[in-house]
Amino acid sequence: MLIVILDINYHQKYIRDDMGILLLLMKILFLTAHLPYPPFSGGRRREFELIFRLSRSFEVHLCSITKSWGTDSMYINELLRYCKSVNLFEAAAPTNKPEYALYPHQMKKHMSEEASSYISFLLKNQSFDLIHIEGYYLLQHLPIKSEVPILLIEHNIEHLLALQQFMVALTQQEKLYFWSEYIKTLNWEQLMWKRATVCVALTNEDKISMERLESNIDVRMIPDGSDHLKKMVDSPTTLLSNSFEHSVIKDNSPSILFVGNFAYEPNVDAALYFSRDIFPLILKYVPNVKLFLVGNAPPPEICSLTSNRQIEVSGRVASLIPFYKHADVVVCPLRIGGGVKVKVLEALGFGKAIVSTSIGAQGLDLSTHRAVSVADDMTDFAENVVRLLVNPEERHIQEQEALAYARTLPSWDQVSEAFSRLYEEMADCRVSKNTRMEKKEEKEAAGL
């Protein structure tokens, strides 16, 4: 299914340079794996913050290949406030055809023949200055040969996530599957990195990993911002959360908060791991503590955790602010992941005491700030949570460290400015390359 909407009230954008001359804005084709609104997941939040700001200086044409058609199709008009056009395609995983045997799951679940055809049509019939792609698996929708510069953003190093899943898998069958996914993803990621003009990683660790594998690619590091826009959307799926929010605020028990989009498997793994293995250790020392699991699309295995009366599961909420304010400790027990975790940036900004695995704390400079307690062993993790719950003074010290560190983090305005400079750099390189080619052709035509 395809929806194409053009904003007929959206006029061609111009800006004035220092001399007062009108300049036509660069035209950007922006590809995402979901509509970046409502921003209820880390990826959607990141893309919405960028589009909100970049659309002031660039003409943005959004193409989204979505696995959540029912929700995303409701909010297209929200993105038309910022984009010249919004094209929404429903992702359709292929049947088990032999030609897809070497494709990793991440590529299969983001396939769409309609998207590939439409994007090829756009690039053939319109002139774009740059293609911005959020995830290597979306590069499959571009023609093999494209004259337009490609900027590829890697939220995670996906083959490393498959390797992490292999490491925590419990059965031999699961281990064989994730090892196969690791090999397939590694091959395709490297291929797509080489196709891109420039790649962007969100952490220095990811940048180094990419450069070690492919020394000849151009990789930049641009982190996520931390000062998220506070506006959130009300929808039928959030109305049920209002009474839950009130019950949280009135509850005086010590509380632990985990925030995550549960449509993302690593968050499900983290919530189950914490609830089943770590939380019982904490209850031995703080028997009245409550655990709140807050986030979009909790599956049945997460909802069933409420059989323990000390665990609450909310589903998507209209605002995370009441939950962050109420929480005594915020946890990020991720065993699978990469890049910067938006949930950790949010907790830092609210000045919360945080306990995280090293994977959850990736991308943070903790050498000079004690803003996050890091523990990978489940017993150590539980002991750190207990320490912060039962010692208000220690908790207050870490909360102040979190606030101090949050003030050093880049803002979304700074991040957007970094992307603006990179857009212009890539466009200038393209112009210079075309100019050299034209001069070469002129010389050849003149017989020189």
37-46, 121-130, 280-289: which has the minimum mean pLDDT? 37-46
- Report CA dihedral (95, 101, 105, 106) to the nearest 10 degrees: -100
* Per-residue pLDDT, 239: 41
* Per-residue pLDDT, 252: 82
Angle at 163 between CA 159 and CA 164, to 5 degrees: 115
- Report CA dihedral (28, 29, 30, 33) to the nearest 10 degrees: 180
139-198, pLDDT tens digit by residue?
999 999 889 999 999 999 999 999 999 999 999 999 999 999 999 999 999 999 999 999
Could you say which of 3.40.1350.10, 3.40.50.300, 3.40.50.2000, 3.40.120.10 is the CATH number of the domain covering 236-406? 3.40.50.2000
Nearest to 428 by CA among 55, 26, 30: 26
CA distance 61 to 29: 5
353-407, pLDDT tens digit by residue?
999 999 999 988 887 678 999 999 999 999 999 999 999 999 999 999 999 999 9
* Per-residue pLDDT, 244: 59
Residue 338: count other Cβ atoms within 10 Å of its Cβ: 25
Q: Average pLDDT, stretch 315-342?
A: 92
Q: Kindly report the average pLDDT of the chain as a whole number.
A: 88
49-63, 208-222, 245-259: which has the minimum mean pLDDT? 245-259
pLDDT band, residue 250 (cuts 50/70/90): low
Concatenated DSSP letters of 35-69: ---S--SHHHHHHHHHHHHHTTTSEEEEEEEES-H
Q: Do domains 2-222+411-444 and 236-406 have the same CATH topology?
A: yes
Residue-range domain boundaries for the chain: 2-222+411-444, 236-406
Cis, bond preceding 38 (omega within 30 deg of 0): yes
Q: Average pLDDT, stretch 307-327?
A: 92
- DSSP summary character for residue 306: G
Q: Which residues of 254-284 are buried (b: 16+ CB within 10 A; e: fewer)?
A: bbbbbbbbbbbebbbbbbbbbbeebbeebbe
pLDDT band, residue 289 (cuts 50/70/90): very high
216-240, pLDDT tens digit by residue?
999 999 999 988 665 544 443 444 4
User: What CATH number belongs to 2-222+411-444?
Assistant: 3.40.50.2000
Structure tokens belonging to residue 75: 């909010």
Angle at 362 between CA 359 and CA 367, to 5 degrees: 120
Q: For residues 381 and 400, is the Cβ–Cβ distance under 8 A?
A: no
Q: Average pLDDT, stretch 420-443?
A: 71
Q: For residues 256 and 385, is the Cβ–Cβ distance under 8 A?
A: yes
pLDDT band, residue 96 (cuts 50/70/90): confident
Concatenated DSSP letters of 245-269: HHHHHH--S-EEEEE--TTSHHHHH
361-376, pLDDT tens digit by residue?
998 888 767 899 999 9
Q: What is the pTM of this model?
A: 0.85
Q: Average pLDDT, stretch 200-208?
A: 95
Q: For residues 432 and 401, is the Cβ–Cβ distance under 8 A?
A: no
Name the 3-class secondary structure at 297.
coil
Q: What is the largest CA-CA distance in the chain?
A: 87
As a whole-number percent, the residues of the chain with pLDDT over 70 amount to 85
